[in-house]
Amino acid sequence: KFYQGATTEATQATLASVSPVFAVMKFDKEGNTTYFEKKKTELYQELGLQARDLRFQHLMSIATRNNRIILRMEFLKAVITPEFLLILDYRHLNLEHWLVNELASQLAGEGQLVTYSLPFEFRAIEAILQYWIGKLQGRLNTLQPQILETLEALVDPKLLSVDRSKLHILLQNGKSLSELETDLKVFKETVLEILDEEELIEELCLSKWTDPQVFEESTSGIDHAEEMELLLENYYRQAEDLANEARELRVLIDDSESIIFINLDSHRNVMMRLNLQLTMGTFSLSLFGLIGVAFGMNLESSLEEDPRMFWLVTGIMFLGSGLIWRRLLSFLGRHLEPPLPPHVPAVLKKSQPAAARVEIKNNLKAETSGLSKSTLTNQ
């Protein structure tokens, strides 16, 4: 038993020694900031959580455990309690400016948060969501002018070829736009999962279950769950607007690609038509060049003695070649040009006068009554 106890203690000591260490930044209700490092085992025990709660296995998630909100926005990991906010692993993420200069003042009520009059968890959630939406908006604002400038340079119809460097830039921007669309989609799905479940919204209101004053306010008319729902819905709509703008950029890229392909096809058709015209001209010259070949053979005739015969044969060759080439070009023009649309004559619809319509109705009624009388007589 002594040996087993010693082994167990040694195992626990070994596991504790290899436990990851979190660099933590703590914010209280007044915006005061403290920094410390703590092992994962000690941290989740102090917070009353399980080890799996601080695993942060999803890229984006908002969950509640033991009256704690565990929030992750990709690289941003946070734990929210009714009294304080913990930011985990904040180093090497370029977050110091936002954490020190903006988040602390927002939590203290100096920022532009609309939830300052509500409990602390509302301010913490709004500050984080505001930062994340602002980051997504900044990415979109950076991509939009670059994409529009590149597309404007590529869609120019005067260009006979496409600049490969511009295409490479457009490909990179399109990839960045796809990543932005994915992030917006994940954010919307995460928030929508909470909005669809009333129990999850209730669980996000931490102070409602721990602070008697807040509970009395909630029972006296201030519905904190409704305030939380409105807060999440507000940022869901902002994400939806960003997604629509990104979608418009994606449609613009697709349409521009179609225009680029049409321009390239048009230039390619022009070159093919020019090549075909030159081929027909070569064929015409070759056809009437047979006359010169016939006179160039080593055969004696009386024609080579006449000095005018050379000019006559040369003129017939060039004239015949020109006529044949002209006929081939007209044939090419008739068969390559698109046919004109058929002429559709305008159909004038004349409405019948009201008196004529009344007369037709009376005639129909008279015929119907006559038929009914004759039918009764026959019966």
The whole-model pTM stands at: 0.66
Counting other chains too, the contacts that 315-320 makes at CB distance below 8 Å and 24 or more residues apart are 316/288, 316/291, 317/288, 317/289, 317/291, 317/292, 318/288, 320/284, 320/287, 320/288
- Give CA–CA dist 27/11, Å, rounded: 35
Q: What is the mean pLDDT of residues 29-48?
A: 85
- Give CA–CA dist 192/185, Å, rounded: 10
* pLDDT given for residue 368 in this prediction: 45
Residue 216 pLDDT level (bands cut at 50, 70, 90): low
CB 16 within 8 A of CB 92: no
pLDDT in tens, 112-169: 777 778 888 888 899 999 999 999 999 999 999 998 888 887 776 665 556 677 778 8
pLDDT in tens, 165-200: 777 888 888 899 999 999 999 999 999 998 888 888
CB 207 within 8 A of CB 214: yes
pLDDT above 60 (res 17): no
- Give CA–CA dist 96/323, Å, rounded: 82
CB 53 within 8 A of CB 111: no
Of these ranges, 12-16, 216-220, 254-258, the one predicted with the greatest mean pLDDT is 254-258
Selected residue with higher pLDDT from 286 and 376:
286
Share of the chain above pLDDT 90, in %: 13
Domain at 21-262: CATH code: 1.20.58.340
* pLDDT given for residue 318 in this prediction: 79
How far is CA 299 from each of CA 196, 294, 296, 303, 310, rounded to the nearest angstrom?
101, 9, 8, 11, 16
pLDDT above 50 (res 377): no
The label of the residue with tokens 């942060």 reads 56
- Give CA–CA dist 379/377, Å, rounded: 5
Q: What is the mean pLDDT of residues 253-281?
A: 77
What are the domain boundaries of the chain? 21-262
Rg (alpha carbons) of the chain, rounded to whole number: 42
| Angle, in degrees to the nearest 10, between helices 164-195 and 224-295 | 150
How far is CA 230 from each of CA 25, 69, 200, 237, 287, rounded to the nearest angstrom?
28, 18, 14, 10, 84
pLDDT above 50 (res 379): no
Q: What is the mean pLDDT of residues 203-232?
A: 75
